[in-house]
Amino acid sequence: MKGFFLTILILGGLAAAGYFLWDPYLKPMIEGDKFSMSDNSAIGTGEASEASDSSSAQKPAMTTKPAGDSSTIASRPKVTPTKPKSEVDLLLEKRYPMPEIKPLMEIVNNWANVPLNAFPPEVFCSEPVAFELVVNGQVLGSSNVGSGTPLKPLGLIGNQLQIANVSNPNQSKQVDVDKTDFKQRITMRYDNFVKMKTSEIENMRAKVKQVVEADPGKLALLKGERPPAVAASSASDPRFGPVKRSLINGDVASVKAEEAQSFAWNGSETVGGAYPGTYDTVTVNFVVETIFGNFPVEYKALLKGSQIVGWIDPITEDRV
């Protein structure tokens, strides 16, 4: 009986071993390409695996555009072609060029040498200033000035700004320049000057263009053409005497007599604008000197006999 049970156990073990050997190894070899999703065939080796690898290698990898590409392209502004400049525009740019203004740090030499004419009329200190009361060389006391009190800048040595009490100019003292608004005030004045000059040129160009388009005869003036028979360039011409005296007298506030570079006698002209009528005219070219740079300008003097009637812009005929 014991031998019978032993025989049954041996036969059962052999059957179980045969089943497990049959399923992973013999079954695929006998059944060929048949498989199920649960047979883990992707882990196996052999020709099937190699074929799978080669087929997947032949398929190009898909690429996707970043999510931001489409929105970037959609939001990209359209480029508008630049309109070609007209002859008048080019002449205006030549006659009224944008000013070549020196950089501020060049003017003040990196704050090491600030020109006196660049000094602001007043400055403010960030803290109270104690001015000494000196009589006959002796200090008798001090006078405190609050931080909101205007002070007059007198000079800059290194980082020390010499300031005076506005209410008592005889009282002066040196303070750290960075404790005042000295640099900020000069910078603000410079920035305002740059904006003012740029706006001045843009406005002049626009006005002259309007005048020339309304009266094409003014185009010759814009080109700088003058009748050669009557033009004179010698500053010693006696006809320029009244013009020079007018400049010396300060009749044109925006220029000085010594800034006149050339004179041209135009003869008799009929003008409109601020002084309508017929006059002998003289065109004067100036180079105006400022702490920010030199700027060319041209004015026209109107004469009746030896008397200056007025000064005008040669093209717009506005009073200057």
pLDDT digits (tens, 9 = 90+) for 15-27: 655 555 555 544 5
Closest C-alpha among 301, 296, 292, 316 to residue 252: 301
Model pLDDT, residue 33: 46
Residue 208: count other Cβ atoms within 10 Å of its Cβ.
22
Model pLDDT, residue 57: 43
Across the range 98-127, mean pLDDT stands at: 93
Give the orientation angle of helix 87-95 with respect to helix 182-214, to 10 degrees. 140
Model pLDDT, residue 99: 82
Model pLDDT, residue 53: 47
Model pLDDT, residue 228: 54
Number of residues that make up the chain: 320
Q: Are the beta carbons of 21 and 14 closer than 8 angstroms?
A: no
Model pLDDT, residue 225: 74
The Cα–Cα gap between 231 and 269 comes to 13
Across the range 223-243, mean pLDDT stands at: 72
The Cα–Cα gap between 320 and 299 comes to 8
Model pLDDT, residue 284: 94
Contacts 24+ apart (CB under 8 A), 96-103: 96/201, 96/204, 96/205, 96/208, 97/201, 97/296, 98/198, 98/201, 99/197, 99/198, 99/201, 99/292, 99/293, 99/295, 100/293, 101/193, 101/194, 101/197, 101/292, 101/293, 102/292, 102/293
Which one has a higher pLDDT value, 77 or 279? 279
Q: Is the pLDDT of residue 272 over 70?
A: yes
Please, which residues bridge with residue 162 across strands?
155, 174
Least confident interval from 42-46, 104-108, 198-202: 42-46
**What are 98's two structure tokens?**
């944008």
Model pLDDT, residue 6: 59
Q: Which residue in this structure is represented by tokens 């009637």?
A: 309
